[in-house]
Amino acid sequence: MNRPPMTKKGAERLRGELERLKSEERPRIIAAIAEARAHGDLKENAEYHAARELQGFIEGRIKELEAALSTAEVIDIERLNAGKRIVFGAIVELSDEDSGEEITYQIVGDLEADIKQRLISVSSPFARALIGKNEGDSFSFTAPNGTRNYEIVAVRYES
């Protein structure tokens, strides 16, 4: 079986979310369902149906996190010793050769990816284009909005 990679920091963040869902959200929803039940007729009780729907979402997320954390290969990226070569866990500083804009991404596991935090999935086309390249390399990437040319300004590994 292929174990999906996950950074140590990402695993800790997901464990924190799992703990919060189990210790705070689950009891809160159970209480909301009990309160909605106390209001009587459940067929026309919007609070009851909303609480049940939220309960389903939370239980699904708990199962998803438990499964991901139990199968993931947690990698301590500080021990990789990849130097200036890009591998899983790398923090990559890029310069758009056309606009001069600089941007930094970290390559992480699928479940911990969050573009708003500049965490890109190792299985994304952009991350796959980066893997194996070295600091100082230039490359072209064809995105839906056209081809972009980048220079890899810096590569580092930190947790």
Per-residue pLDDT of the chain (159 residues; tens, 9 = 90+): 578 899 999 999 999 999 999 999 999 999 999 988 888 777 778 888 899 999 999 999 999 999 999 999 998 887 877 889 999 999 999 999 989 899 999 999 998 999 999 999 999 999 999 999 999 999 999 988 889 999 999 999 986
Residue 3: per-residue pLDDT: 86
pTM for the predicted model, two decimal places? 0.79
> What is each CA distance from 88 to 36, 78, 100, 107, in whole angstroms?
47, 11, 26, 6
Q: 89, 84, 76, 97: which is closest to 8 by C-alpha?
A: 76
Residue 1: per-residue pLDDT: 53
- CB-facing half-sphere around the CA of 64: CA atoms within 13 A: 12
